[in-house]
């Protein structure tokens, strides 16, 4: 079995039209998603979404890359330490 890592993908969305594509991608990767939190920041016209996954690194980076190619979406991924490297 391939090693999985817990990761958080954070998105800042400035283009409302990209939300449908984001939801479609999240649905496609739903088996790896532990949870998600969305925060509308109406004063700035932004939406912030954090998605927590437990998946192999290639799955996390694949989803992160697809999200980052959407117009008006800024994405960063943060990974948990590798097993055995916890401090």
pLDDT digit string (tens) for 14-68?
999 999 999 999 999 999 999 999 999 999 999 999 999 999 999 999 999 999 9
Cβ atoms within 10 Å of 75's Cβ, excluding its own: 20
Q: Is the pTM of this model over 0.85?
A: yes
Q: Is 5 helix (H, G, I), strand (E, B) or coil?
A: strand
């Amino acid at each position: 079995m391939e090693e999985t890592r817990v990761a958080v993908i954070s998105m800042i969305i400035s283009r409302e039209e990209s939300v449908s594509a984001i939801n479609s991608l999240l649905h496609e990767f739903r088996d790896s998603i532990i949870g998600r939190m969305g925060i509308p920041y109406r004063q700035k016209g932004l939406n912030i979404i954090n998605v927590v996954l437990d998946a192999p690194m290639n799955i996390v980076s694949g989803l992160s890359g697809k999200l980052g190619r959407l117009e008006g979406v800024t994405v960063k991924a943060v990974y948990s330490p590798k097993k055995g490297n916890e401090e």
